[in-house]
Structure 1
């Protein structure tokens, strides 16, 4: 019997070029290759997005909720009316997809908002529920309003198993009274393509042609303005350095104006959205990877950069410290200090021995802890444990 899994996720790619929830799509595709039947329920954000489609054997169902081409993360305040429609529409479609595909297990990605739909289905259908906490949901669920915090805790308590992408989240869940034995910690995976790029690098970069790269979304939480502020400081010491800023979002126009005001536009290129399939090749042309994020779960972008052999210079936040040891396999900097970010980038360029040492260490870390082949084994183990418990009446 083929095991049928229902994904309920707040993000899933709308087109081949879409980046939204690309790692959810990759997980679904890999599970399909392993013989699982995967159905995905996700919100319909864009007018042109189909209500139903099949991508590589994975069925995708999208529920409408008057999104108006706007992501939930782009709202300054919670759109309560839209969220009521979101939950009603999402729950109805999830129930339909569950029965239509004879699913045996529910896997909700993001405890808030879609984890609540998963918890409702678990209550209605008495099927095992796995919840993956990615980062933004944890921040919202622990710092949001009292109602949001209660909903987050409700979802965590209803889940049969919780997958955290960061040890920071797992530790905090224990402090909230969630049993340690029902929590696993491992990242979303990295394709071996990135590791092949890292292993294929044949030389340490030259100071005259160094490229610094950021590919975080251009939204306030990712703090890309800090990198723009650091560029003039770096150019005074090293005028040959190039800066590439990939990604898109509501901050783009403001960032371009800021770069122009600081006299940095001649040194920085705004690349826009990069197709997921093109990211490995692009990282192969990059020397230093920068993330200025104010908050993250385990950043897949960071892991991909490490796998590709880029030197990471990232904000000193708890989730980054799980992967980067300052001065050993990368640099950390306070996310409010453009001067120190600039100095860190200058230090990287001048320290050839650290560059090569960090590259070898980062390739090892990714191969041992973050490749999809490693993470898939953990996911399948969780699924099999839950399905075994159901079939043997231990739940």
Structure 2
């Protein structure tokens, strides 16, 4: 008989879908989901979301009474992780999504978030760190590291195949991050405007949706590169591999990062990565060895690094080859999700 898992988190997100699908495939679990309904896209909705969060426990407990799950898992240690800890279900697995999950760093609610996070850490039976950069803040917070599993969910190598068709004579760049200010799409557009001024041919595909969509479209027009920039909007995750395989550059300029599945997907498909120089990216990218690192908000440096790598195609090809091998050996979805699923069964059996 299948074991039931209650997943607390935004079930539409690609990371969440990967997590849940892997548990169903490799653990033979049945997944039940619950999430907050109010988006946090403006100040009014953020206030509504806080109220929804305050009354969430009673709704979750009603769902638990109805479905009787064997385990609860949650993404983010400061929100859904706290709700999981309050749910009354054992065992509990929570996943830190960012480098700390304490974001924004200057938020007035930060002291409260720290209290909530510490409570979730204490109550959890298993804590996921999708990469080593996440463990640094856990150690600082004196988390019981024996409960921490450092392992990315991995990439489905059967979907994200190494079948890159991009022509090397032109920059075919892709960005696959949400259109939010923290991902610095403005920096990316400005850097490509520099390339345009220098007469370097390119196409830039920006995948995803978010609050900055219209502003970014307007900026592309202002920079006179709108004819070379394609905004796809939100797409199905099944459509993403083809777009990556048609691109030879992957660009990502976030100001903070935990572990980026988007980066892994691009590396798997043969895209050459140019990313922001932050701890979460330095865990995987060594400058001018298997990609390039660029200072946050430095559009001129990004343009320079793009030009350098475009003028060194042999280096890029070798980097792409090494990156694919790395993904196959260290970020394999089939292997990692089997490990995670087995761990969940062990936790459930220990409670039973």
| TM-score, with structure 2 as normaliser | 0.92
Shift of 1:81: 5.1
Correspondence 1:24 to 2:16: yes
Alignment of 1:303-342 (within 5 A): 303-342=264-303
Correspondence 1:135 to 2:134: no
Correspondence 1:91 to 2:57: yes
Report what 1:47 is aligned to. Answer: none
1:352-393 Cα deviation digits (max 9, x unpaired)? 2211111111111111221211220231232133224323xx
Report what 2:75 is aligned to. Answer: 109
Aligned 8 A contact 2:99 2:133 in 1: no
Aligned 8 A contact 1:194 1:304 in 2: no
Distance 1:254 1:267 in 2: 17
Report what 1:12 is aligned to. Answer: 11
Distance 1:270 1:239 in 2: 20
Correspondence 1:369 to 2:330: yes
1:12-64 Cα deviation digits (max 9, x unpaired)? 12xxxxxxx122123222322332122111223xxxxxxxxxxxxxxxxxxxx
Aligned 8 A contact 2:3 2:69 in 1: yes
Shift of 1:309: 0.4
More deviation, 349-358/307-316? 349-358
Shift of 1:228: 0.8
Shift of 1:221: 0.7
Q: 1:81 to 1:219 in 2, by over 3 A?
A: closer
Correspondence 1:170 to 2:135: yes
Aligned 8 A contact 1:8 1:94 in 2: no
Shift of 1:267: 2.3
Correspondence 1:181 to 2:146: yes
Distance 1:113 1:75 in 2: 18
How many residue pairs end up in the alignment?
349
SS at match of 1:37: strand
Shift of 1:236: 3.2
Shift of 1:100: 2.6
Unaligned runs of 5+ in 1: 14-20, 45-66
More deviation, 310-319/265-274? 265-274
Unaligned runs of 5+ in 2: none
Shift of 1:99: 3.1
Correspondence 1:75 to 2:75: no
Report what 2:31 is aligned to. Answer: 38
Q: 1:374 to 1:142 in 2, by over 3 A?
A: farther
Shift of 1:136: 7.5
Aligned 8 A contact 2:164 2:248 in 1: no
Distance 1:254 1:270 in 2: 12
Aligned 8 A contact 1:112 1:137 in 2: no
SS at match of 1:286: coil
More deviation, 330-339/258-267? 258-267
Distance 2:71 2:250 in 1: 38
Q: 1:214 to 1:141 in 2, by over 3 A?
A: closer
Distance 1:228 1:332 in 2: 17
Distance 1:215 1:233 in 2: 21
More deviation, 320-329/103-112? 103-112
Aligned 8 A contact 1:193 1:280 in 2: no
Report what 1:216 is aligned to. Answer: 177
One of 210, 222, 225 as aligned partner of 1:249: 210
Q: Runs of 4+ in structure 1 displaced over 6 angstroms? A: none
